[in-house]
Structure formats: C-alpha cells, structure tokens
Amino acid sequence: MPAALLALAIGAFGIGTTEFVIMGLLPEVATDFGVSIPSAGLLISGYALGVVVGAPLLTAIGSKVSRKTVLIALMGLFIVGNLISALAPSYGVLMTGRIVAALSHGAFFGVGSVVAASLVPKAKQASAIALMFTGLTVANVLGVPGGTALGQQFGWRSTFWAVTALGVIGLLGIIALVPRQTVNESGGLRSELAVFKNVQVWLALAMTALGFAGVFASFTYIAPMMTDVAGFSSGAVTWLLVLFGGGLVVGNIVGGKAADKSLMPSLYVILALLATVLVVFVFTAHAKLPAAITIALFGAAGFATVAPLQKRVMDKAVGAPALASAANIAAFNLGNAVGAYAGGLTIEHGLGYTAPNWVGAALAASGLAVAVLSGRLDRTRRQTTRETAPALFHV
C-alpha cells in the first residue's frame, strides 16, 4: 500500500478523535462554561449537523480543484476549527469551532476515499479505503480514551490542542506524500451531480444510512445497557468501549479485503451478520462475559460495512465519484442520528435498555433488503445487456 495512505489515515485519526472525544469531556465543558450536561451534549449534535452540511457542500465547491489541493484545504479547515475550540472563551465560540471542524469531516473522507482508491489497482481499492478508515477506528481505540484522559488531567482544552497538532501532522503528510492529481478529473460539478440520476447511487446511500442506523441504535445506549442490564461498574465501560474499538479495527480490515474479492456478496453477509449479532445482543446483554464478547463482535460487524458501502457508491458513481462519496459520509451520519433517535424511543416507552438492539437489527435487515434489491437490479441489467447485444458472430 502506498505511503500516501498513511497520511490519509493520520488525518482520519485526528478527525475521528475530535468527533467522539467530546463525549468523555462533557462534564468538564459544562462546568467550565456553566451550562447543563444536555446543553454541552449539543456540541455532538452541532458537529453531526456540520458533517451532513459540509460533506456535499465543500466537495461541490472543490469540484474544479485537484483532489490533493482539496484535501490540504480541508485539513487546514480542520486545524482552524480545533484551534478555535481550544481557545474558545465561551460556549458559543466552542460550538462554532466544533461546526467549523465538522465541515471538513465528510468531504475529507469522501474525497479521501476517491484518492485512496486511485492509488492502487482496482482489485485492492476497497482495502485501500479500509486502510484510510483505519485511522477512524484506531481513534476509537486510542484517540478517544487518550484524549479523554488528557482532558480530565490537564483540562479539556489540552485535548483540542493535541488534536490540532494531529491535524498539522496529517496536513504535512498529505503535502509530502499524496501525489498531485489533475484538475477537474471528473468533468466538474455538473458531472458530479449527474451521477445522482442513477437509482443505484440512491440505493447505495440508502444501504449506508440504514446499515449504520442499525449500529447507532444500539451503540448510543451501550453504557446504560452494560451497567443497568449486564451489571458492569461504570468504570468498566471505558474498557468495554476499547473492546468495541478493537472489533472496529478488525472488522474494517476484514470488510475491505472481503469487498475486494466480491463486493455485493460481502455486503449481504456483513449486513446479515450485523442484524444477527444485534438480535443475539438482546439476550447476551444480561451476563457480563457474553455481553463483552458480543460487544467485540458487534464492533467488527458494524465497521466491516464501511469500506464495502463506500466502494459501492463510488462504483455506481463511476467517472465522477467525489460528490457521491462525500454524500455517503453524510448518509453515515444521518444513519447515526436516525438510529440514536429510534433506539431512544424504545427506552422512552419503557421497553428497557436492550430494546434498541431490536431496532438496530430491524434497521440492519432493512439495509440488507435494499442491498438485495440493488444486486438484483445489477443482474437484471447485465442480463438485458447480453440479450440486446449485437449478434456479431451469427450468420
């Protein structure tokens, strides 16, 4: 794999850390600015909104610029956003910094996926995408716990200073290692928008939103599920999240390799596995050891979907994949929001902390149904093409 993928992975590590580390620092932020914990929690919602808006918008704006230049600009925006957060004198300024940093998130992963795929032969493209996303998975294993510990020890601002430094390292890596690519490779914004006329692009986005909604329907409520149902202490949740993060890393790598061998069959198997694991989690969540094992399997199945889903939308947006790829990152985040909301409804209606697993399983199964439909359309199109092809060798 080219060294340029390492630079992309470092950038992904910084972005993944800044996205999730705020969850562990909410009490410190709330105390510092004199706001409630729920108000501090809006810093997570604000970031997600920034991702959804920024992914297609900034990708479209950069459609006539070389992709390396776009990546450099996005890392610069990420650095500025975290610098604003580190220096924020008020809650409002901190929210602004979070949104500024979030604007770069979706576009970076969208354009970065296209660049990663362009650096390797077609047979290794999903693995290259997975390698870039490894930075995001490792952020959950190392970056988030480390950033949380740093912020609790030296103040939450120290975490944002550290993430800013990571952004600088990622920026320098992109400048030094990512090869210069030609300007306007896809034909510009019009070509990027034209791919959305393809129903398969929309089906790929729906797969992503539904599949990851299934992940976050359960994962959002993992802490109360483990403490109130499985019987773990609150202090054990950190290590359970590390276990989940380990599953993410393994699943990401395996999913990328599987997708390189056979993309759609891999998606069928992974989405079916995700739905199955979530159903099993309803029952294993009641005992410590089975719950811990299931958390690792859940992380692996959940993130094994990422590279195949990203590759699918890029394949269907052939010739102009950057905007569709960024839109898929927005679909991941839309799925996060929808899944968390749907899972929360079951708890609000008194169905218990394991009920979100049923919701997650249903959403993952819905994603599988869309995948099957998409694959069937592929087969129908191939069959039609063969039947209507000129009979060149017929007498």
- Please check whether residues 321 and 362 belong to one and the same domain: yes
Place of tokens 């480390």: 146
Q: Which residue has the higher pLDDT, 38 or 89?
A: 89
Report residue 41 CA to chain centroid gap.
20
Please tell me whether the overall predicted TM-score, pTM, comes out greater than 0.95 for this model: no
- Distance between CA 85 and CA 92 in Å, rounded? 10
* Contact between 251 and 304 (Cβ < 8 Å): yes
The proportion of the chain whose per-residue pLDDT surpasses 70, expressed as a percent, equals: 94
Q: Which residue has the higher pLDDT, 268 or 27?
A: 268
Longest dimension (CA), the chain: 85
Indicate the residue among 150, 184, 218 that finishes a domain: 184
Average pLDDT over residues 133-139: 83
Tokens of 125: 């493209």
Q: How many domains does the chain have?
A: 2
Indicate the residue among 140, 158, 184 that finishes a domain: 184
Find the domain containing 242 and state its range: 186-395
Q: Which residue has the higher pLDDT, 281 or 228?
A: 281
pLDDT tens digits, residue range 47-62? 878 888 888 888 888 7
Indicate the residue among 157, 184, 211 that finishes a domain: 184
What is residue 62's DSSP assignment?
G
Q: How confident is the model at residue 394 (pLDDT cuts 50, 70, 90)?
A: very low
* Contact between 254 and 389 (Cβ < 8 Å): no
- Please check whether residues 154 and 43 belong to one and the same domain: yes
- Please check whether residues 97 and 125 belong to one and the same domain: yes
Average pLDDT over residues 162-166: 94
- Distance between CA 152 and CA 167 in Å, rounded? 21
- Please check whether residues 277 and 354 belong to one and the same domain: yes
pLDDT tens digits, residue range 278-306? 999 999 999 999 999 999 999 999 989 98
pLDDT at residue 395, as a whole number:
39
- Please check whether residues 151 and 248 belong to one and the same domain: no
- Please check whether residues 286 and 326 belong to one and the same domain: yes
* Contact between 279 and 329 (Cβ < 8 Å): no
- Please check whether residues 124 and 232 belong to one and the same domain: no
| H or E segment to which residue 192 belongs | helix 189-194
**pLDDT of 147 over the 50 cut:** yes
Q: How confident is the model at residue 185 (pLDDT cuts 50, 70, 90)?
A: low
- Please check whether residues 125 and 230 belong to one and the same domain: no
- Please check whether residues 54 and 174 belong to one and the same domain: yes
pLDDT at residue 392, as a whole number:
46
Q: Which residue has the higher pLDDT, 189 or 260?
A: 260
What is residue 287's DSSP assignment?
S
* Contact between 41 and 26 (Cβ < 8 Å): yes
Q: Is 72 exposed, middle or buried (0-12, 13-18, 19+ CB in 10 A)?
A: middle
- Please check whether residues 169 and 203 belong to one and the same domain: no
- Please check whether residues 170 and 214 belong to one and the same domain: no
pLDDT at residue 117, as a whole number:
84
CATH of the domain at 372: 1.20.1250.20
**pLDDT of 140 over the 80 cut:** no
- Please check whether residues 200 and 159 belong to one and the same domain: no
